Chains A and B, each alone.
Chain A
């Protein structure tokens, strides 16, 4: 029993082992690239262990605390890959140098472990624990540049908002526990499928629980921490944060809503929500999109602009969640990948520019086209992809989202999303304009280190290739859009 559980838990065991290995290795001072390569090797091993699980049937393990199903498999693979990419972004960074390398990677691995657990969490206790495992090291990572005021301020705001949100969420979860007598999602679903439950209390509990989930995915009105944290934290961590923990928040939100507050699938596979939560999520999605896109219009700091852009994209993904359909789930999973590629690409360019110029303000991007044409071209590609311009992967991602929304007959939200995409085009193009057209001062060419160029090249190729040849990704996401019990 325990042995079969451990087999399913093998990837997480590898990550935990790697974490402890880093701790021991850190007894002697070592370079950042040493830890980075060790972690990359270890995470590759974890991916192999995960691939070995692909053939196993969907099941719950560890006394129904966690679940193994195609959705969890996809998410765990995604988190491993995203973390490996983020580790590549930590290399040759001007911010991340000096002592503390071991601690940094240990904290990052702890966050990864939490994310992988979030993907399969099937019990309120596991949700809370995994969420804390993702959040607590994140608070520290945001403040990792301990001599920088911006970084300290970022971590203070992060810990206050985060602890408050998880506290409120915990109170909401306690109400759900009281109603159903157990913390497991199956017990919750059984209770809410019955005829007698108080919708007012369930609604209240859900709103409180959404405080915790909403904060993790940076959806309005729980997004206030994001701009400051994104701006102040070391950029490599910001990049990781915008992709990894955010997607993990979505994964657990989806599983929580679909497994506890949605009925078992009917004969035709249709899912019925057991309380009017889709409407609530739809409203949050619209609100998040507008807040993100409108605030992004007035930003002067690139990382802050990307924070609001990230908030807006969370809104688009929330649109997929409220559809309560397999199509919606597939669209969300596709968007995870598209968004990771585009966003990590943008942040890598920001890192390269910051390494060379020491600034993250958009104004200093003036005339970069002259200094680093390929870099600016790559940035342009990523930004246009974020805006949803064909034939890039961002466009395909948005197309899947809209298609799912139309299939789910949520026309008003699809219209809102289209309007918001149009608004977002304005600020993405603004950054491009500054880089391409505005004249700059310096003319010395900007040459990023080889590793950065290599990663950028890969991301550029993916952005274009997956936009045109999206077939394989389509089949993978469609196969993965299945949760245990739905």
Chain B
């Protein structure tokens, strides 16, 4: 019987994968992908709670998460292009001139 716990497990593991991607990836877009995994994990939580505990609120919140993730991704990618234009690389280790 698939219950709340199953979905929460998936979201917890997805969250951890997102964290891992952010820690491991040196490519700026790779880090962005990790952030998307984290946002999706939160989305699964909201929808799962909404389904099992009643109410539509979780689904509404997840809808806004999807919308804002789109805006954030567009902005992040615009910034990545700007970085590529200035540094000719999007490796986060090499884009680290500001010191201190």
Contacts and interface: CB of A to CB of B under 8 A. Distances in A.
Q: CB–CB under 8 A between A and B in the complex?
A: yes
B98 A167 contact: no
A128 B64 contact: yes
A82 B75 CA distance: 25
B53 A143 contact: no
Contact of A304 (B35, B64, B87, B100): B100
Interface stretch (A1-9, A227-235, A423-431, A449-457): A227-235
B13 interface: no
A152 B58 CA distance: 36
Interface string B35-64: 100110110011011000111011011001
Contacts of A150: 97-98
Given A128-B64, A163-B35, A167-B35, A301 B80 contact: no
Range for the number of chain B residues in contact with chain A: 35 or more
B9 interface: no
Interface string B72-89: 100110111011011100
A175 interface: yes
A136 B78 CA distance: 12
A143 B82 contact: yes
A95 to B, nearest CB: 16
A102 interface: no
A171 B38 CA distance: 8
Given A136-B72, A167-B39, A153 B83 contact: yes
Contact of B98 (A128, A171, A232, A295): A232
Contacts of A177: 45-46, 49, 57-58, 61
Interface stretch (A178-186, A241-249, A258-266, A277-285): A178-186
Given A299-B100, A304-B100, A156 B80 contact: yes
Interface in A172-210: 173-175, 177-178, 181-183
A99 to B, nearest CB: 15
Nearest to B90: A156
A183 B75 contact: no
Contacts of A181: 49, 53-55
B65 interface: yes
Contacts of A227: 98, 100
A312 interface: no
Name the prevailing secondary structure of the B interface residues.
Answer: helix
A301 B42 CA distance: 39
A294 to B, nearest CB: 13
Given A124-B61, A160-B28, A164-B35, A129 B87 contact: no
A143 B79 contact: yes
B76 A163 contact: yes
A167 B32 CA distance: 11
B72 A163 contact: yes
A136 B80 contact: no
B73 to A, nearest CB: 9
A146 interface: yes
A175 B75 contact: no
A304 B97 CA distance: 13
Of A160, A171, A227, A299, which is in contact with the most chain B CB atoms at under 10 Å from its CB? A171
A167 B53 contact: no
A139 B60 CA distance: 26
Nearest to A167: B38
Contacts of B97: 149-150, 153
Contacts of B98: 150, 153-154, 227-228, 231-232
A156 B49 contact: no
Contacts of B45: 171, 174-175, 177-178
A278 to B, nearest CB: 27
B96 interface: yes
A149 B48 CA distance: 43
A164 B60 contact: no
B10 interface: no
A233 to B, nearest CB: 11
A139 B75 contact: yes
Given A147-B86, A227-B100, A232-B98, 4 more contacts: A129-B64, A129-B68, A139-B76, A163-B35
Interface of A: 124-125, 128-129, 132, 136, 139-140, 143, 146-150, 152-156, 159-160, 163-164, 167-168, 170-171, 173-175, 177-178, 181-183, 227-228, 231-232, 295, 298-301, 304
Interface of B: 15, 18, 22, 28, 31-32, 35, 38-39, 41-42, 45-46, 48-49, 53-55, 57-58, 60-61, 64-65, 68, 71-72, 75-76, 78-80, 82-83, 85-87, 92, 95-98, 100
Which 10 A-B pairs have CB atoms at the shortest separation, nearest pair first?
Answer: A174-B45, A167-B38, A178-B49, A170-B42, A171-B42, A228-B98, A152-B86, A163-B35, A152-B82, A155-B79
